[in-house]
């Protein structure tokens, strides 16, 4: 995909935050939340972003929609410079890029009726009469399987799944082109989760929506995504087609996520033994030099501590950022897992061509 066919296109986007000493108010630390990220999302596509807590995936989603301003980089939405938009232009773009947040219990004001909750984005945007707003609210509710008799009710009378349907209706009411789904099912029980994911998929088929879908759960991301990007400490370390990344993964961190995922097919997914990474994720305040994954990586070599590996793409667009695995197509999927577990089933060569 190139920038001209992308609905949303990010190039070199970074975002840092400063933390301050509470009592003295002095600048203390810089948190590198998103670091030089480039990605595209096509119309009607779902791009899943997966990573541990603190990987920067939710911040990336917020930056992509300009809910948070980036420090560096460019963002184009539907062919327009999103960072150059302001005033009415920005409000118009915001109608076409909406958000579904994680927790349907806290993202709905309990004092408001469903009609007010779902219609709020239309009132903020302006330009529609109260009668049109009501029609659009009813249309959005019907799309998510709720009848107009819920208009006067308040959120406390609904189950978690119904609340998330109200949240989705609110995201749809402005007829957006792109929806940022920020861990949209992680607060729901398993059966409700499946129904909400099915609903999101149906809505995409009906309306041609694109989703930027963020989750810590690789299984959930694989189930809904056309492509997957894996984030570690603010950077994308692997990206490609969903099936490719989930089954022919080439980055050791992705392999660790796969081994920890409760996959339905343990043979294919190599779930016979989980890879336990050394230590906790490093602090984004003091990210490691070179490859940020090197302090935890079972395959790390001296070069990994000094040089950051670039994302290198195969002809099919599957890209991996790793000095050892990016250009060796034998180190994919189950073979990579075996190597990480110390059970290699093949003779491996170092990048210099000598046996490991």
Whole-angstrom distance, CA of residue 309 vs CA of residue 353: 18
Residue closer to ligand SF4 (CB basis): 223 or 292? 292
Whole-angstrom distance, CA of residue 179 vs CA of residue 79: 17
The string of DSSP letters for 35-68 reads: EEEEEEEETT-EEEEE--TTSSHHHHHHHHTTSS
- Provide the mask over 198-237, with x wherever binding to ligand SF4 is found by CB under 6 A and - wherever it is not: ----------------------------------------
Residue closer to ligand SF4 (CB basis): 240 or 252? 252
Q: At how many degrees (to 10) do helices 160-172 and 130-143 cross?
A: 130
As given in the structure block, the two tokens for residue 313 are 């793409």
CB 104 within 8 A of CB 160: yes
> Can residue 319 be called a binding residue for ligand SF4 (CB under 6 A)?
no
Residue selected from 170, 318, 324, 332 as contacting ligand SF4 according to rule CB under 6 A: 324
> Can residue 300 be called a binding residue for ligand SF4 (CB under 6 A)?
yes
Q: For residue 189, which of 162, 213, 169 has the smallest C-alpha distance?
A: 162
Residue closer to ligand SF4 (CB basis): 176 or 234? 234
* Stretch of residues binding ligand SF4 (CB under 6 A), selected from 95-103, 109-117, 265-273, 287-295: 287-295
* Stretch of residues binding ligand SF4 (CB under 6 A), selected from 206-214, 278-286, 316-324, 346-354: 316-324
* Stretch of residues binding ligand SF4 (CB under 6 A), selected from 35-43, 150-158, 206-214, 317-325: 317-325
Residue selected from 293, 318, 337, 339 as contacting ligand SF4 according to rule CB under 6 A: 293
In angstroms, give the least distance from the CB of 293 to ligand SF4. 5
SS3 (DSSP) at 307: coil
Residue closer to ligand SF4 (CB basis): 176 or 252? 252
Q: For residue 133, which of 120, 146, 149 has the smallest C-alpha distance?
A: 120
Residue selected from 114, 322, 339, 340 as contacting ligand SF4 according to rule CB under 6 A: 322
H helix intervals, the chain:
57-64, 87-96, 114-125, 130-143, 160-172, 190-207, 218-224, 242-247, 252-260, 333-340
Residue closer to ligand SF4 (CB basis): 15 or 324? 324
In angstroms, give the least distance from the CB of 37 to ligand SF4. 17
> Can residue 291 be called a binding residue for ligand SF4 (CB under 6 A)?
yes
| 354 Cβ neighbours under 8 A, 6+ residues apart | none
> Can residue 122 be called a binding residue for ligand SF4 (CB under 6 A)?
no
Residue ranges in 240-259 that form contacts with ligand SF4 under rule CB under 6 A: 252
| 21 Cβ neighbours under 8 A, 6+ residues apart | 28
Binding site for ligand SF4 (CB under 6 A): 252, 291, 293-294, 297, 299-300, 304, 309, 322-324
């Amino acid at each position: 995909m190139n920038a001209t066919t992308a609905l949303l296109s990010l190039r070199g986007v970074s975002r840092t935050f400063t933390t301050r000493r509470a009592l003295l108010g002095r600048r203390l630390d810089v948190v590198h939340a998103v670091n030089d990220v480039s990605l595209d999302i096509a119309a009607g596509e779902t791009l899943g972003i997966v990573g541990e807590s603190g990987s920067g995936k939710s911040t990336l989603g917020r930056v992509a929609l300009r809910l948070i301003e980036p420090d560096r980089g460019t963002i184009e939405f539907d062919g327009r410079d999103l960072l150059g938009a302001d005033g009415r232009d920005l409000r118009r773009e915001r109608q076409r890029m909406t958000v579904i947040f994680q927790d349907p219990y806290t993202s709905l004001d309990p004092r408001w009726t469903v009609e007010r909750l779902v219609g709020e984005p239309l009132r903020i945007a302006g330009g529609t009469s109260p009668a049109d707003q009501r029609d659009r609210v009813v249309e959005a509710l019907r799309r998510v399987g709720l009848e107009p008799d819920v208009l006067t009710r308040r959120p406390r009378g609904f189950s978690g799944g119904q609340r998330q349907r109200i949240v989705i209706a609110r995201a749809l009411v402005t007829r957006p082109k792109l929806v940022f789904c920020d861990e949209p099912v992680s607060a729901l029980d398993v059966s409700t989760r499946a129904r909400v994911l099915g609903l999101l998929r149906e809505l995409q088929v009906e309306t041609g929506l694109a989703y930027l879908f963020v989750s810590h759960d690789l299984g959930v991301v694989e189930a809904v995504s056309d492509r997957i990007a894996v984030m570690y400490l603010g950077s994308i370390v692997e990206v490609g087609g969903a099936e490719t990344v989930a089954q022919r993964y080439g980055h050791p961190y992705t392999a660790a996520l796969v081994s920890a995922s409760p996959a339905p097919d343990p043979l294919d997914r190599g779930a016979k033994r989980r890879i336990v990474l050394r230590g906790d994720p490093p602090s984004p305040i003091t990210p490691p030099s070179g490859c940020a994954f090197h302090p935890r990586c079972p395959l790390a070599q001296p070069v990994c501590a000094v040089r950051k590996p670039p994302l290198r793409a195969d002809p099919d667009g599957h890209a991996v950022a790793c000095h050892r695995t990016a250009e060796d197509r034998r180190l994919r999927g189950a073979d990579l897992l075996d190597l990480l577990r110390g059970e290699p089933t093949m003779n491996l060569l170092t990048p210099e061509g000598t046996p490991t």
